[in-house]
Amino acid sequence: MKQALQLKLGQQLTMTPQLQQAIKLLQLSTLDLQLEIQQVLQSNPMLELDEGDEDGPLDGPEPDEPLTASTGEGPLESLERTAAGDGESGDYEPSMPEDLPVDTQWEDLVPSSAPSAPGPGAEGADYDVDSRNASVQSLHDHLLWQLNLTRLSDIDRAIAMTIIDATDDSGRLTSSVDELHSLCAADFDGEIEREEVLAVLHALQQFEPTGVFAADLQECLLLQLKQLPPETPWLEHARTLVSRHLAQLGNGDYAQILRRMRLDEDALRGVLQLLQTLDPFPGKRIGADDTEYVVPDVFVRKRDGRWVVELNPDIAPRLRINDTYAGLIRRADNSAENTYLRDNLQEARWFLKSLQSRNETLLKVASEIVSHQRNFLEYGEEAMKPLVLHDIAEAVSMHESTISRVTTRKYMHTPRGIFELKYFFSSHVATTTGGACSSTAIRALIRKLIAAENPRKPLSDSRLAQLLEEQGIKVARRTIAKYRDSLYIPPSSERKRLV
């Protein structure tokens, strides 16, 4: 084999630590970003919160000024260019300022943020220790609390504890009476009778919420009907319907119910209205999960006939370089202390640039999404246009993976509500005119058609496909069924109602 030398030119993107940090911050959600900032503040002495004092730096935007859409090359592009070809190894060589102490420059601030929330000791801080540390009471705890207020013998209390332990979060028993009797008999060497277990169970069924400790749906509804006042209209008919015709009610066979109960439609309508006031899962009302609130990353408002996109200024604290520590750095000093300060200063600057890069990229992508989906903001879901990641990536000259990171777990506040950025992307279906219709718009049309249907004769999936085709949208019946299931809408046989 003959050896030879060849000269070859090529470009290669080197993933420097700085670029990796920028990509990491880009894909973080708002809550994760706040945690990341807190960790960096604790580990890097060069970074500090900008409390907005008068002696602080005056250059840069005001703390409450939102970052709006802008053009030009952002820090992410500059980071990629630095990694790609601004040096043979792609490493960034830190440069020290000419004059000391180091002055705060524009990149030392993150303009799209506001001061952090006040702590427990700050003036005006509404800090309720009890409400923040209080745990939500579960159904099990609620039942035990009622048991402690009930007079029972030691044996009956032990039986009641066994029954409570065999109850799920919805208040339904997970074990039969025979299984409960076997468990209790094993604990007391067979001295427990089945009738004693039944007696304790009937006593527990008087607990709140009404309908707990039921074996099935039928018993749950009967327990709730039993505790209604005797003068409640249609009470006896409701008991008869639940006891004997619950299966026909579930299948929507109202004709058979009318015939067997010898009622007219008005009477059956009154019975059904009474049943609709009952709760099939009474235990769900106790110990509900804490509400998770979504913090929008961008705001979309209409000003002077134009849609304006702004970053939320409250999603992260305002940061800056600590001038005191930066002024301690000395030239031509390779001591461990000076190296530590110099390295932390460089890391702080790169972190601030990465935050700025995240903000600008998020704003650029959100602005392009609003530009594509302006009809949705004006007219609603039915006007949603088909959109894929490639369309936005091509418009902002970025890779699709970058667009995917930006749109994941990021939320946009619009006049029509708060939506994840992923919501504005959807596939398309061909129309009879040769155009395309968004799958989100088709779902909205299906929801609208079903909301306006006759409950006596609900629209089938085939009929929905025909109605959409009359509007110029060709959708197969199985696609209609898939979209309907995604909207949690039952089939036509289960939507049939008595009017």
Q: What is the pLDDT of residues 376-430, one digit of tens each?
A: 999 988 889 989 999 999 999 988 988 998 898 899 999 999 999 999 998 877 7
- How far is Cα 454 from Cα 444, in angstroms, rounded to an integer? 18
Q: To which H or E segment does residue 267 belong?
A: helix 265-275
Q: Report phi then psi at 449, rounded to 5.
A: -65, -40
213 contacts 201 by C-beta, under 8 angstroms: yes
Residue 83 pLDDT level (bands cut at 50, 70, 90): very low
Mean predicted lDDT score pLDDT of the chain: 79
- How far is Cα 194 from Cα 173, in angstroms, rounded to an integer? 16
Q: Which residue is it, tokens 């209409």?
A: 302
Pick from 465, 468, 417, 343: nearest CA to 44: 343
pLDDT over threshold 50, residue 146: yes
Predicted TM-score (pTM) of the model is 0.63
- How far is Cα 223 from Cα 245, in angstroms, rounded to an integer? 17
Q: Looking at residue 291, what is its pLDDT? A: 65
- How far is Cα 474 from Cα 428, in angstroms, rounded to an integer? 11
Q: Looking at residue 362, what is its pLDDT? A: 92
The residues spanned by each domain of the chain are 139-285
198 contacts 178 by C-beta, under 8 angstroms: no
